[in-house]
Amino acid sequence: MSLLPVDDAIAAILKRVPEPVAEPVALADAAGRVLLHPVIATHDQPPFNASAMDGYAMRAADVVDGHRLKLIGTSQAGAGFAGNVGHGEAVRIFTGAPVPTGADTVIMQEEAVSDAGFVSFTAAARLGHSVRPLGNDFAKTQVLVEAGVRLAPMQLAVAAAANAATLQVAKRPRVSLLATGDELVLPGSPLGADQIVASNSFGLRPLLIPYAETVTDHGIARDTRDELRGKLDEIFASQPDIVITTGGASVGDHDIVRDVLLELDVMLDFWKINMRPGKPLMFGTRGKTLVFGLPGNPVSAMVTAMVFIRPALRQWLGYTEPELWRLPLAAATPPNTARRHFMRAQLVHTPTGPKLLPISQTDSGHTSSLAHADMLIVQPESDPGQQAGAIVEAIPLDHF
């Protein structure tokens, strides 16, 4: 079987991803969710001309040599002055309060002298100074947050200012994880002579949880058909949206995941990708459930999840922002093979800006080098190698 190009595999996966579905979520619970319907202002903000500071509101034309303006009232936030400001008059005003009708400027209190019901100023008046005009922040019908944006504190703050109690966000998928392998033991277990610590699910779960309603770890299935089938039967019975297995995806005598998935009526779209690390990747469907069979080597599992599963989840949620970055190299890259290489790299800050420092380690089981990486350089097939300073594409590891 020939190796499927990376781009073709991504395209095949994205064709199987359902359209985003909106659900209402209370504003207080919307942090980290992806907005599907834009936030549109239903009122002007501020809803009146408002003072930007504590001071006095008056007509700028009245602040002339020898002026002495009569104080006729007070305007404060939540209790504006009800009358009009006429010639020779001023109103005491506080930050956020409505600027009274007739007034067209505010002078701060530090530049005012108040005495016996009158006020004068040590600074000249500037028309419109310290007045936030009606709609200065946003205007009615203005789009404040576009669809496809992951809601962070600043977007939530403006949604609150727009009086939005709930937001329409993308419904998140339910994900199930299953590790496979006779050699695996859970972290904290005593290690036998032929055992290794299972790490894949402990990296995949935090990678996926920002995009998921739940990520359920179903533990470890041993390399027997009966145990693997039983575990997968249980998982499919819970009707998750996405199932991810790790291990058993290659061609060895104990690599039985593919056969068991086929027995369980999973329709496989492809198996084996023209990439490194992570060639033995499976993808298919069982009804509406997407099924990913990732390699067992921990670097391969994490890299294939970032290259294939994360884009699928982003499309599931309606993300619009691109994930690829373009940055200069801090050091040269070596020539590549005929397989696309997702090269580990560190993001380093230099006097001329951020750059990518390639990590030479390519072993698909070398987790410590991946732990020191910030990005994956996307090195094209048969790339001759690039010199320091060349602009290359990269995928950030810690990115939503």
Share of the chain above pLDDT 70, in %: 97
Q: Is 177 exposed, middle or buried, given 0-12, 13-18 or 19+ CB atoms closer than 10 A? A: buried
Give 169-218 pLDDT, tens digit per residue: 999 999 999 999 888 888 999 888 888 889 999 999 999 999 999 999 99
User: Could you tell me what percent of the chain has a pLDDT over 90?
Assistant: 87
pLDDT at 1: 57
Residue 346 has pLDDT above 70, yes or no: yes
Does domain 6-20+172-317 correspond to CATH entry 1.10.760.10?
Answer: no
The answer to whether the beta carbons of residues 137 and 45 sit under 8 Å apart is yes
**Element spanning 313, H or E:** helix 310-317
**Burial (CB count <10 Å: 0-12, 13-18, 19+), residue 194:** exposed
Considering the domain 50-132, what is its CATH architecture?
A: Beta Complex (2.170)
Quote the pLDDT of residue 91. Answer: 98
* The CATH classification of domain 325-396, taken from the options 3.50.50.60, 1.10.3720.10, 2.40.340.10, 3.40.190.180: 2.40.340.10
Mean per-residue pLDDT over the chain, rounded = 94
pLDDT of amino acid 101: 97
Cα(38)–Cα(304) distance, integer angstroms: 32
For 230-243, the pLDDT digits (tens) are 999 999 999 999 99
57, two tokens: 């509101």
Each residue's pLDDT tens digit, 96-138: 999 999 999 999 999 999 999 999 999 999 999 999 999 999 9
Q: Is the dihedral of CA 192, 195, 201, 204 positive or negative?
A: positive
Q: What are the tens digits of pLDDT across the range 68-105?
A: 999 999 999 999 999 999 999 999 999 999 999 999 99
Residue 185 has a pLDDT of: 87
Q: How confident is the model at residue 400, as a pLDDT?
A: 62
Give residue 270's Cα distance to chain centre: 29
> Residue ranges of the domains in the chain?
6-20+172-317, 22-42+141-170, 50-132, 325-396
Q: Which pLDDT score is estimated for 223? A: 87
Q: Which residues pair with 143 in a beta bridge?
A: 40
What is the CATH code of the structural domain delimited by 22-42+141-170? 3.90.105.10
